[in-house]
Amino acid sequence: MAKFAFDASQEHQLDATIFGERVYVLYGNAALGQAVNIVIAFAIGVLAWGKIDPVLILSWVGAALVIALARIALTIAFRRAAPAVENIRPWYWRFFAGVVVTALQWGAAGVLFFVPGDPASQTVLLMILAGLTAGAVPVLAAAQEIYFAYCAV
């Protein structure tokens, strides 16, 4: 059985390279995730229409659209910058912040679109939120800590 020996600098470089590749995978998956967020935000707005204040619905859907478009712009900026491994950590934190803001937006939906006394609406809302949580697994799989933050918020 072969043993591989790395000195500390080689091990650090390998860790940095792996981290960089994880960030590239996150941004590679981001456009799909944001497209889904936009479609589902509009769908939840349509489903809530007539049950929730229209101003609240339009405000939340508008905020969801702005967040998704901002994250798409961040993805485009990342692809244009094509950062080297040494410069990728700020891009990781920007991505992380975008995920947290998105999670807050969806968490707010769970409160804002909860219709007391309407089990059908409650069930649909619960299924949408559970589906978003499950759907985030492949999109955020490259960074388990980001997925856990998404679920925790």
Contact 110, 48 (CB under 8 A): no
Q: Rounded to an integer, what distance in angstroms lies between the CA atom of residue 44 and that of residue 113?
A: 8
Q: Rounded to an integer, what distance in angstroms lies between the CA atom of residue 55 and that of residue 106?
A: 17
Question: What is the pTM (predicted TM-score) of this model?
Answer: 0.89
Could you read off the pLDDT of 76-121 as tens digits, one per residue?
Answer: 999 999 999 999 999 999 999 999 999 999 999 999 999 999 999 9
Contact 97, 67 (CB under 8 A): no
Q: Which amino acid is at 23?
A: V
Q: Rounded to an integer, what distance in angstroms lies between the CA atom of residue 13 and that of residue 19?
A: 10
pLDDT band at 2 (very low <50, low <70, confident <90, very high): low
